[in-house]
Structure 1
């Protein structure tokens, strides 16, 4: 459980090797820059179990590194406990949202607010597209969208 005054956010995508680890790393950087990292617990996870234990996609790591961000994240699958312990579960697309709502409905009295991360995008790009089958510029787009969404999310959650 989070300490008094702390909040928690879990970023979720299908495999936890592209979008959600980028979202997690960008969020950590932003809260550090704003001197509020002691107020947030941040993690990311996958709906699927395909990549459990793996590092993020090399293109995700390179994208983050290009922006001065390092990550040591290892992919993990979300658990029922996540719905009880996280304040927010922010996901990347409608498929994630549908799957998370279905899984959440199996957890009694869960507290997590399940939303699309893109719902915070000031440019109104609701979906954060999966860059896995794309190229470096697709990973850069994920990064940029995460920055926009996180800034708006942090502003709204003050």
Structure 2
């Protein structure tokens, strides 16, 4: 059965497109592109149509990820189209939870930190937008671990 995963952050220009790019590569490397589809969105639509932040694209590129997603806002229909909706922080969680058409659909929402056990001191994936180089690297570290664990969950 095909599994569909949507990553969500605020503007869909840093964290969620990075998670999408990381997960897409993991899926391809494991020969699962026919079984798992990936996308990303934001709770804020002000960046709709934009490429990911240039700093995130550079940081991701250094690790071999190409981020080409165009930002979009999450839609109510995403709850029907996706099996997992993975959010980056509590503000995203609350926004996405309010958008869920029912309690059943809200059960599809997960926090990325649930898949990042190596970061027990983190209760969310921080937004690197206002951070320096280290902020982008931390986010990529967290997303790489989280995506590997999500892939394992999908395979189970």
TM-score (norm 2): 0.92
Distance 2:29 2:149 in 1: 15
The residue that corresponds to 1:71 in the other structure is 67
* 1:109–1:145 distance in 2 versus 1, CA, 3 Å: closer
Mapping of 1:30-45 within 5 angstroms? 30-45=26-41
C-alpha separation in 1, matches of 2:149 and 2:63: 19
Task: Give yes or no for the alignment of 1:139 onto 2:132.
Answer: no
Aligned: 1:114 with 2:109: yes
TM-aligned CA deviation for residue 111 of structure 1: 7.4
Unaligned runs of 5+ in 2: none
Please name the residue that 1:12 is paired with: 8
Instruction: Output the CA distance in 2 between the equivalents of 1:156 and 1:47.
Output: 25
Q: Secondary structure at the match of 1:9?
A: strand
Aligned counterparts of 1:144 and 1:32: Cα–Cα separation in 2: 19
1:116 and 1:126 in contact (8 A); partners too:
no
Partner of 2:146: 149
Structure 1 spans left out of the alignment, 5+ residues? none
Q: 1:101 to 1:108 in 2, by over 3 A?
A: closer
Q: How far did 1:65 drift?
A: 0.8
Flag the 1:112–1:87 CA change in 2: closer, same or farther, 3 A.
farther
Q: Is the 2:3–2:154 contact (alpha carbons within 8 Å) kept by the matching residues of 1?
A: no
How many Å apart are 1:156 and its aligned residue? 2.2
For 1:50-89, list aligned pairs within 5 A: 50-89=46-85
RMSD over aligned Cα atoms = 1.6
Q: Does the residue aligned with 1:153 lie in a helix, a strand or coil?
A: helix
- Runs (4+) off by over 3 Å: 106-112
